[in-house]
Amino acid sequence: MQNQDIPIMILAGGRGTRLMEETREIPKPMVTIGGKPILLHLMQYYSRFGFRKFIVCLGYKGEIIKEYFLNVRERTSSVHLHAGGKVEYETGPAGEWDIVLAETGEHSLTAQRIQRAAKYVDAPLFGLTYGDGLSDVDLNAELAFHRTHGKIGTMTAVHPPSRFGMMELGPEGQVVAFREKEKLHNDYINGGFFFFQKDFIARLPAG
């Protein structure tokens, strides 16, 4: 199975309370970076690895995401305005995507969103990620790891940064070094990028 045949499910329905000043009016995945919403950056990143099928799980202010993607071709393609009035769009990456904008409930929990979007998973495995996180993870390496280990799911794990700068003190209490928020190399946290066999969905708690 090629990457282009593997659907990527994106959880984009939460309220994003940690960015409340931005998300009172728009859903968190639509917060812009460099003039483009996080969600579009995320899909373009997957696209670089050959993925082209996306299932966006909507909830809070999902109509804003729908409106954006109904016009995504115009937003991401070059436009040729012919002398006779004909308008022609040059196909960009978004023009090659298959996108499902799935209503999964404004107040649904993660498992419920996955269950409600499950009918759109048309392959034996699928990717899953959050609609508000970006990374430089090697998705091909993660997918290869998943395929060779025969498990129901694979997730990225990353070292978290320390919450505080770390001081090193000398024998008389003097500061001899200061390290600003280093990574905690003995700990791992969820990196937010997953691949699951479709059977995983049946194991989720009913809700």
Q: For 42-62, what is the mean pLDDT?
A: 96
Mean pLDDT of the 57-70 span: 94
| pLDDT band at 22; cut points 50, 70, 90 | low
Residue 91 has pLDDT above 70, yes or no: no
Domain tally for the chain?
Answer: 1
The phi, psi pair for 19, rounded to 5°, reads -120, 45
- The count of other CB atoms within 10 Å of the CB of residue 116 is 19
Domain assignment present for residue 178? The answer is: no
pLDDT at 19: 56
Give burial (CB, 10 Å; 0-12/13-18/19+) of 143.
Answer: buried
Q: Tell me, what's the pLDDT at 18? A: 60
pLDDT at 8: 99
* Tokens matching residue 116: 């409600």
* Among the listed residues 143, 132, 112, 117, the one whose alpha carbon sits nearest the alpha carbon of residue 5: 143
The pLDDT-based confidence of 160 (bands split at 50, 70, 90) is confident
Nearest partner of 190 among 144, 162, 156, judged by Cα: 156
Residue 165 pLDDT grade (very low, low, confident, very high; cuts 50, 70, 90): confident
pLDDT at 44: 94
- On whether the CB atoms of residues 131 and 85 are closer than 8 A, the answer is no
- Taking the alpha carbons at both ends of the chain, their separation in whole angstroms is 31
Range of the structural domain that residue 77 is part of: 3-155+191-203
- The answer to whether residue 55 sits within a structural domain is yes
Please state, in angstroms and as integers, the Cα–Cα distance from residue 66 to each residue in 26, 61, 116, 135, following that order: 12, 9, 17, 24
Q: pLDDT, tens digit, for every residue of 98-152?
A: 999 999 999 999 999 999 999 999 999 999 999 999 999 999 999 999 999 999 9
Residue 76 belongs to some domain of the structure: yes
What's the whole-number mean pLDDT along residues 21-40? 87
Tell me, yes or no, whether 84 lies in a domain. Answer: yes
Residue 82's pLDDT band (cuts 50, 70, 90): confident
The CATH number for 102's domain is 3.90.550.10
Report pLDDT for 154.
98
Looking at per-residue confidence, does 18 or 201 come out higher? 201
